[in-house]
Structure 1
Amino acid sequence: MMSTRRSSSSSAMATAAAKRPAVAEGGGKATTAAVAAGQQAKKRVALGNITNVAAAGGRAATAAGAGKAGNAKLNSAASVAPLKKGSLGSGRSASTNRASGVKSAPTKPAPAISRHEVAAQKESVLPPKVPSIVATAALAPAPVPCSSFVSPMHSGDSVSVDETMSTCDSMKSPDFEYIDNGDSSSVLASLQRRANENLRISEDRDVEEAKWKKDAPSPMEIDQICEVDNNYEDPQLCATLASDIYMHLREAETRKRPSSDFMETIQKDVNPSMRAILIDWLVEVAEEYRLVPDTLYLTVNYIDRYLSGNEINRQRLQLLGVACMLIAAKYEEVCAPQVEEFCYVTDNTYFRDEVLEMEASVLNYLKFEMTAPTAKCFLRRFVRVAQVSDEDPALHLEFLANYVAELSLLEYNLLSYPPSLVAASAIFLAKFILQPTKHPWNSTLAHYTQYKSSELSDCVKALHRLFSVGPGSNLPAIREKYSQHKYKFVAKKHCPPSVPTEFFRNATC
């Protein structure tokens, strides 16, 4: 009996020792603090007091925990990591090789010499005499068939309707010299000059076109619409139904939108700053449990829709947040977190029954209409449309647009814009940040988003201010999230101070 008690006592002591950090005999306080910080980092810090919003350190209670140590370490590593640049395309290297080959050839015609000097040098210098017509066929480009009528405004750089270079003038060019007096050196010099000029025209055309595409500001392209729904082999893309699906989502977003003035008309104890703190904390929870982005967007949608018709106390705002995330996780996730885990992330501020009661209240008020079009639904399609005929890196454009769209979740004033407009504006701003001199909008994006560039002006400017200024030091979750290597450090990209006004002008034919 004594041995049984002794074994149970020793096991209890071992369990207690495993739960508590060991203390050094020498009184090492640094070691104790490090072990305690390491164990607290494993636990998600609760939101804490959400009422201290007006103070400068509005999130001091939340950030006071040692759980931020891991994030600080991640941010320091992310800031030191260099940003790699993509290598140049093979087309530029081929153009460089072609240019070096052209520059090695002589470009000046041979100086005129007398007939006697030609006779003296003919035996030692000149190759065997070749008829002029053979040299012409060997060096001159093959002519393209064209009509016998030549436009008086035709120049050497003109391009025909079918995008082929017109070479009708090569048969009657005044620069080409036919010499019948046997002066072969002048013939070869003329042919060499003709060949060099043809090559130089092609080289300059490629270089100037590439330079124009990269550096010069260009207006909105009046181009043809690229086909996006043409992949019928991938069943997840739903190529045959994609257009109808997104037309239905555009109609549904007007019915599932929250009120844009519920803070002024409904809520008396909650303000936009408290809402932003709650969403910033929910971003950290979603990252902790690796939830899909749609879960986060749906959570914010449920919160705003519930606040649009129900007055709530600020002490229960975090309870509403975890209940809405629980519902969204059940709707979207394959393996949703349990109720006890959401109680744990609030540091057991709320009991299990309270979370379930709030969940039932939200479901009843929303009438179990959980399907709601969010900005993420439209952003997924708009990114695919933008990548069809875009030269920007695909991942940088996608991550940057996602970053801008998630920043919009924090801003209460952006609820006045429909989710599809926010998604289109995020694509507009992301393309502008990646290529500030190029018009971000084109006919393909205007067709599939059903928004003209002029309709995006106000929302793009609001997102631009949010991107440039940032949500503040007390709301760092989204910026820290997209400052990681897996998101290509898009949160650290430089944004121009303003968007040119001409980018918001619609294209005119």
Structure 2
Amino acid sequence: MEEAKPAVVPQQPKGGDALRRDRRVLQDIGNRPITRSFHAQLIAKGQEKGVNNVNPVVLPVLDDKLALNRKRVPAKKVVPRKEIDKPKSDAVVVISSDEGEEKKKPVNRCKPEEGRKEVKTLTSILTARSKAMALGVNIKPKEKIVEIDSADVNDELAVVEYIDDLYKFYKLTEDDSRVHDYMDSQPDINTKMRSILIDWLIDVHRKFELMPETFYLTVNIIDRYLSKKIISRRELQLIGISSMVIASKYEEIWAPQVNDFVCLSDYAYTSDQILRMEKEILGKLEWYLTVPTPYVFLSRYIKASVSPDEETKNMVFFLAELGILHYPTIILYSPSMISAAAVYAARYTLNKNPFWTETLKHHTGYSEDQLRDCAKLLVGLHLNAAESKLQAVYRKFSRPDYGAVALSVPPKSFQPSS
């Protein structure tokens, strides 16, 4: 009986480092399939290096056919160990929806990032406003703009729905009916003659107890006609009378008769002359009579003063008529600015504090700085009104029924420097 041979225990081959290197190299082959032929080659190479009965790797051996099929399947990408390390406990994974792939972004949950500023988005702002409105909190400007038309909502004649659009249109079109300096083209008349004519028409207007709109339209018709037609000195008063006849027919319910104007002119002109001049004026102006005069803006801007008293109203009209009488004023400034400056100067004269409000600025479109020069001019006219040779405006507003506002002392700070 043969002795049983002791089992041969394979010793650890020499060159263990080389074997480990081979194993690392084998690890790099990825998903290359192990066929029988390839497995035999690996064993032969191991024996040449002194390794017996040791398989370099323990991998399933595949058939050659199966290996060919495996080659057709694309190999999966081997992810390095650094990329599959678990994130630290204080980091979160942030997924960007724009790039569509997962990115890691460490975020410290306890301490905000240094140097990062909080940016408010539109959604957060709108949400905050909605919450404020739900709680009854109104976001208001520094000074509230008063709704001046709320009391006239039920008044159909006030046309509250269209009033803002109407005055925007007036501001856009006021230059179409505004006259520019035409005295240089009039050889036979001058600015002094014009002022005398307007002064006389103020008395005629008060004698007939006509509407304020009639007076302002009369002056507008005179100036527009004189800017288009050269006249003689003798025709100037006839043009003034005929212009008031036209304005009365346009504005008044009961217009004065032509013969009444003949009497007031001391029969200097006949009724036929007045009617012929009326027709000529209308033809020259192309029947364009719906114009934004200073009175159109005065009525709106006085209302924007918020419950003005009678003294303020009378002072505004007094300063405005002084400006209309003065030729340089209508040349330098638009009707809306003259009206706004009259309101500003009146409030300043009567010490109505504040002199200019956000409500007035909103409805007039003018700031206090824009009106200062024109207001100084009007206050200067008020200062000299008592000593002027043209007394019609001063007499009119010195009467008790106009509050005697002409007798008020003009503010010294608005007096023009000499």
1:340-419 equivalence runs, <5 A: 340-388=259-307, 394-415=309-330, 416-419=332-335
SS at match of 1:268: coil
Aligned length: 277
Q: Out of 190, 207, 226, which is 2:146 matched to?
A: 226
Deviation at 1:320, TM superposition (A): 0.3
Corresponding residue for residue 359 of structure 2: 444
Aligned twin of 1:507? none
Q: How does 1:89-128 map to 2 (within 5 A)?
A: none
For residues 245 and 471 of structure 1, do their structure 2 counterparts lie closer, same or farther at Cα, with a shift above 3 Å needed?
farther
The Cα shift of 1:457 comes to 1.7
1:481 aligns with 2:396: yes
Q: Which amino acid aligns with 1:424?
A: A
Report deviation, 1:237: 1.8
Confirm or deny: 8 A CA contact 1:222 1:442 kept in the other structure.
no
Alignment partner, residue 244 of structure 1: 165
Q: Which SS does the other structure have where 2:220 is aligned?
A: helix
Give the alignment partner of residue 368 of structure 2, picking from 453, 472, 477. 453
Structure 1 position 343, deviation (Å): 1.2
| TM superposition shift of 1:258 | 1.4
RMSD: 2.1
Do the aligned residues in 2 keep the contact of 1:262 with 1:308 (CA within 8 Å)?
yes
For 2:320 and 2:236, how far apart are their aligned partners in 1? 23
Deviation at 1:222, TM superposition (A): 4.5
Q: Distance in 2 between matches of 1:333 and 1:471?
A: 31
Matches of 2:174 and 2:252 in 1, distance apart?
A: 22
8 Å CA contact 1:387–1:394 kept in 2: the answer is no
2:390 is aligned with 1:469:
no
Q: Which one-letter code corresponds to 1:262 in the other structure? A: Y
Render the CA deviation track for 1:154-210: whole Å, top value 9, x for unaligned: xxxxxxxx9xxxxxxxxxxxxxxxxxxxxxxxxxxxxxxxxxxxxxxxxxxxxxxxx
Match of 2:234 in 1: 315
**C-alpha distance in 1 between matches for 2:204 and 2:305:** 31
Q: Which residue of 2 aligns with 1:431?
A: 347
Residue segments in structure 1 that go unaligned for 5+ positions in a row = 1-161, 163-220, 502-509
| Residue equivalent to 1:73 | none
SS at match of 1:225: coil
Alignment counterpart, residue 281 of structure 1, candidates 184, 200, 220: 200
Deviations 1:436-463 (A, max 9, x none): 7x34111111001001111112111111
Structure 1 runs of 4+ with >6 Å offset: none
- SS of the residue corresponding to residue 460 of structure 1 reads helix
Please report how far the alpha carbon of residue 236 of structure 1 lies from its aligned counterpart in structure 2 after TM superposition: 2.3
Alpha-carbon distance in structure 2 between the residues aligned to 1:475 and 1:395: 25
Alpha-carbon distance in structure 2 between the residues aligned to 1:223 and 1:363: 47
**Identical aligned residues as a percent:** 37
Alpha-carbon distance between aligned partners in 1 of 2:415 and 2:243, rounded to the nearest angstrom:
40
Alignment of 1:3-14 (within 5 A): none
Taking structure 1 as the reference length, what is the TM-score of the superposition? Answer: 0.53
Q: CA offset at residue 471 of structure 1?
A: 7.1
Alignment of 1:303 onto 2:219: no
Q: How does 1:134-145 map to 2 (within 5 A)?
A: none
User: Which residue does 2:337 correspond to in 1?
Assistant: 421
- 1:281 and 1:472 map into 2 onto residues whose CA distance is 17
Distance in 2 of aligned mates of 1:328 and 1:282: 12
CA contact (8 A) 1:270 1:313 kept: yes
Shift of 1:229: 2.1
Displacement of 1:499 after TM fit? 3.0
Cα distance in 2 for partners of 1:471, 1:420 equals 26
Partner of 2:48: none
Indicate the SS of the match to 1:445. Answer: helix
- Offset at 1:371? 0.9
Question: What corresponds to 1:235 in structure 2?
Answer: 156
Deviations 1:194-240 (A, max 9, x none): xxxxxxxxxxxxxxxxxxxxxxxxxxx94111111223112222211
Structure 2 partner of 1:254? 175
**Paired amino acid for 1:459:** C
> Deviation at 1:496?
1.6
How far the C-alpha of 1:494 sits from its partner, in A, is 1.1
Offset from partner CA, 1:248-273 (integer Å, 9 cap, x none): 111121111112x1012x11111111
Give the deviation of 1:500 after TM superposition. 9.5
- How far 1:472 moved relative to its partner? 4.4
Task: Report whether the alignment pairs 1:332 with 2:251.
Answer: yes
* 1:336-357 deviation digits (Å, cap 9, x = unpaired): 1111111111111111111111
Q: 1:472 to 1:296 in 2, by over 3 A?
A: farther
What is the CA–CA distance in structure 1 between the aligned matches of 2:304 and 2:159, rounded to whole Å? 15
The Cα of 1:286 is off from its aligned counterpart by 0.5
Q: d(CA) in 1 for partners of 2:277 and 2:387?
A: 30
Q: 1:417 is matched by which residue type in structure 2?
A: Y
Contact kept in structure 2, 1:424 and 1:449, CA below 8 Å:
yes
Q: Distance in 2 between matches of 1:258 and 1:440?
A: 30
Partner SS state of residue 370, structure 2: helix
Q: 1:326 to 1:472 in 2, by over 3 A?
A: farther
Report the secondary structure of 2:177's partner residue.
coil
**Inter-partner Cα distance in structure 2 for 1:497 and 1:345:** 40
Query: Among 253, 259, 263, which residue is 2:183 paired with?
Result: 263
Give CA deviations for 1:448-496 in whole Å, capped at 9, x if unaligned: 1001111112111111111111274421111111111111111111112
Query: In structure 2, how many angstroms separate the alpha carbons of the residues matched to 1:298 and 1:471?
Result: 26
